[in-house]
């Protein structure tokens, strides 16, 4: 895993053409987005262990992997989940507040062990921006590491990588701009054989690029209507990939 993480540093540390390579710095470290890290909060630790138990049973055929936006399929999106995703024997592996490094840790510590789903829907990265304003290249490198970890665990599984959802009311919001930068780096991660990319950001936006409280009450998390939009945007692709 250390070799994998070091190889991914090229996404965030390579010098621009014509520039000299940076001199070695004893204080330099692997970016936080690439450093597997557990969540210590009791609820999150318990939830992680519950995912391990689901994995051991090996029954889930569709997995949603991500942060609180994914977790809230169980609350604001529960009706859509029951109607659209539950028939696929779906499992929700979302933990609120997770960043890329937290999912990397989860995959090193039991998540997916014994599980062989046909498809994983991955959407992660907004907390790398919201918590730390990580450079876009760091977050993209973290997402790449997750994809490679998933492929190593389940090479026959397909992955639908979603662009990070927009956040911030206006298109000029700094966090929105950083999210756009992340999403611009994600399409090359898809090989269209096992990994597929879909950016549904515009689904949630008004024509002028703003977000409304009707769709995202806090300009980050989806309302029930937002989950309706999410469902409609990806359902045809999931049906195709699950066949």
Domain limits, the chain: 40-242
Instruction: Tell me the C-alpha distance between 125 and 179, whole Å.
Output: 8
Q: Structure tokens of 102? A: 């937290």
- Where is 152: in which H helix or E strand? helix 136-153
Which band of pLDDT confidence, cut at 50, 70 and 90, is reported for residue 185? very high
Find the length of the chain. Answer: 243
Mean pLDDT, to the nearest integer, of 197-225?
98
- Where is 90: in which H helix or E strand? strand 90-94
Question: Quick one: pLDDT at residue 151?
Answer: 97
Residues annotated as catalytic are 68, 218, 221
Helices and strands per DSSP (H, E), number in the chain: 10, 5
Which band of pLDDT confidence, cut at 50, 70 and 90, is reported for residue 35? very high
pLDDT in tens, 43-97: 999 999 999 999 999 999 999 999 999 999 999 999 999 999 999 999 999 999 9
Instruction: Tell me the C-alpha distance between 223 and 221, whole Å.
Output: 7
Direct distance between the N- and C-terminal alpha carbons of the chain, in angstroms, rounded to an integer = 32
* pLDDT at position 4 over 70: no
User: Which CATH architecture does the domain made up of 40-242 adopt?
Assistant: 3-Layer(aba) Sandwich (3.40)
Instruction: Tell me the C-alpha distance between 40 and 79, whole Å.
Output: 30
Residue labelled with tokens 């990265």: 125
Instruction: Tell me the C-alpha distance between 104 and 111, whole Å.
Output: 10
Question: Quick one: pLDDT at residue 28?
Answer: 58
pLDDT in tens, 124-162: 999 999 999 999 999 999 999 999 999 999 999 999 999
Dihedral sign computed on CA atoms, order 67, 70, 234, 222: negative
Q: Is 101 exposed, middle or buried (0-12, 13-18, 19+ CB in 10 A)?
A: buried
* pLDDT at position 30 over 50: yes
């Amino acid at each position: 895993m250390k070799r994998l993480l070091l190889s991914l540093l090229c996404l965030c540390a390579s010098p621009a053409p014509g520039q000299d390579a940076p001199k070695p710095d004893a204080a330099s470290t692997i970016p936080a987005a690439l450093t597997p890290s557990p969540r210590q909060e009791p609820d999150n630790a318990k939830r992680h262990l519950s995912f391990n138990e689901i994995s051991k049973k090996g029954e889930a055929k569709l997995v949603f992997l991500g942060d609180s936006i994914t977790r809230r399929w169980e609350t604001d999106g529960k009706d859509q989940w029951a109607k659209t995703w539950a028939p696929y024997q779906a499992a929700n592996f979302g933990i609120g507040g997770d960043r890329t490094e937290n999912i990397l840790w989860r995959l090193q510590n039991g998540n997916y062990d014994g599980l062989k789903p046909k498809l994983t829907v991955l959407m992660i990265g907004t907390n790398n921006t919201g918590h730390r304003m990580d450079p876009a290249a760091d977050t993209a490198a973290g997402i790449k590491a997750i994809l490679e970890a998933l492929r190593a665990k389940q090479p026959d599984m397909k992955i639908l990588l979603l662009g990070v959802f927009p956040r911030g009311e206006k298109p000029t919001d700094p966090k929105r701009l950083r999210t756009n930068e992340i999403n611009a780096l994600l399409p090359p991660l898809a090989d269209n054989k096992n990994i597929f990319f879909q950016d549904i950001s515009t689904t949630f936006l008004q024509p002028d690029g703003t977000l409304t409280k009707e769709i995202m009450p806090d300009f980050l998390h989806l309302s029930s209507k937002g989950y309706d939009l999410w469902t409609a945007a990806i359902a045809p692709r999931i049906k195709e990939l699950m066949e």
